[in-house]
Amino acid sequence: MTTTLVHFFELQKGVGVLEIIRPDALNALNTSVLQQLSAHIASLTRNQNLSVVILKSSGDKAFVAGADIKEMLDFSPTQAFEFSRHGQSIFKSISELPQIVIAQVQGFALGGGLELALAADFIVASQKAKFGLPEVGLGLIPGFGGTQRLVKRLGLARALEWTTSAEKYTAQVAYELGLVNRVVEPEQLASAVETIANAIAAQGPRAIRAAKRAAQAADSSGGELGYEFEAQLFASCFSGAESKEGLSAFVEKRKPDFRASGR
C-alpha cells in the first residue's frame, strides 16, 4: 500500500489545500513526496473550479526542512542532474498553476523547503517560521530553482548573502525584505491564510487567472537559462568529496570538515 505523503482536499468553494504529510522527517522532500506532489499539480493544472491553492504541511515544527538529505547521500552527478531537472519542472509547474498559490509557513522553511515556498505566489508565515538556504553547509547549492527565484525576490546582493551564509532568518526579517507577505501569531496562521484565500476566491475566477498571468509576464526576465545552469552546477557539486562530507556529517550528526586534505 502506498503511504499518502501529499494530500489534497477542497476547503471551501474555490479554495483547495495541498498538504505535505511527513512530520517525522520535518516534511523533507524525498522522491515519493515529489512524485505525489507532481501528480496533484498535474490535476490542479486542469482544475478550472479553484481560484486558490493553500500549500501547507503537517506538524508545528517545519514547513519543509529541505530536500531529503539521507536520500541525496548516494547521488552521482548524473542522478543529481536528473533529480534537479525533475524537481525544477515540478516547482515550475507549481509557479505556473492557474490558481493563486499561498504557502502557509509555520516553522522551518529551509533549502528545498524555502524553494518550494518561493514557487508559490506568496508566503504567509507564523512568527515562529525560519527561512534559509543551508545547502552550502552540505557542500551543495539549491537545486529546485531557488538560486533564480531568490534573486528575483530579494535582489542579487541579499540573495547571494542568503545562499552563501547558510544563515537562518526570522519571519520578521523575511517580511522586512519582502520575502513574506504577512507574519501572524502562530495560532492565527491557518485562519489568516483562509481569510486571504476566501477573499481571492470571491472575485471573478477568470480575472484571477488573467491577473496572475499578467503579473508573471512582468516578472519573466531571465528565462530558462538560469535554471538549466543551476541544475548543471548542482550536479557538479556531486563530483567531488565535499558534498559527501557535508551530507554524511548531517546523517552522522556531526559538523562537516570541508578543509580536510583531499576535499
Q: Which residues bind ligand DAK (CB under 6 A)?
A: 25-26, 28, 62, 65-70, 80, 83-84, 87, 108, 110-112, 134-135, 138, 140, 142-144, 234
Least distance (Å) between residue 105 CB and ligand DAK:
13
Distance from C-alpha of 126 to C-alpha of 47, rounded to nearest angstrom: 29
Question: Which residue minimizes CB distance to ligand DAK?
Answer: 111
Least distance (Å) between residue 113 CB and ligand DAK:
7
Active site residue: 10, 71, 115, 161, which one?
Answer: 115
Buried b (16+ CB within 10 A) or exposed e, 124-159: bbbebbbbbbbbbbbbbbbbbbbbbbbbebbeeeeb
- Return the number of the residue (175 or 234) whose C-beta is nearest ligand DAK: 234
Would you call 135 a catalytic residue per the annotation? yes
Tell the residue number behind the cell numbers 583531499, with chain if given.
262
| Residue 154: all three cell numbers together | 530579494
Distance from C-alpha of 193 to C-alpha of 197, rounded to nearest angstrom: 6
Residue pair 51/100 in contact by the 8 Å Cβ criterion: yes
Rounded-to-5 percentages of helix, strand, coil across the chain: 50, 20, 30
Would you call 115 a catalytic residue per the annotation? yes
- What angle separates helix 31-45 from helix 77-95, to the nearest 10 degrees? 30
Classify residue 48 by burial, with Cβ atoms within 10 Å: 0-12, 13-18, 19+. Answer: exposed
- Return the number of the residue (80 or 97) whose C-beta is nearest ligand DAK: 80
**Closest listed residue to residue 190, CA positions, set 57, 26, 23, 1:** 57
Least distance (Å) between residue 258 CB and ligand DAK:
15
Active site residue: 19, 135, 194, 245, which one?
Answer: 135
In the chain, the N- to C-terminal Cα span, in Å, equals: 42
Distance from C-alpha of 19 to C-alpha of 5, rounded to nearest angstrom: 8
- Return the number of the residue (65 or 197) whose C-beta is nearest ligand DAK: 65
- Return the number of the residue (68 or 194) whose C-beta is nearest ligand DAK: 68
Least distance (Å) between residue 259 CB and ligand DAK:
19
- Return the number of the residue (16 or 66) whose C-beta is nearest ligand DAK: 66
Residues known to be catalytic: 115, 135
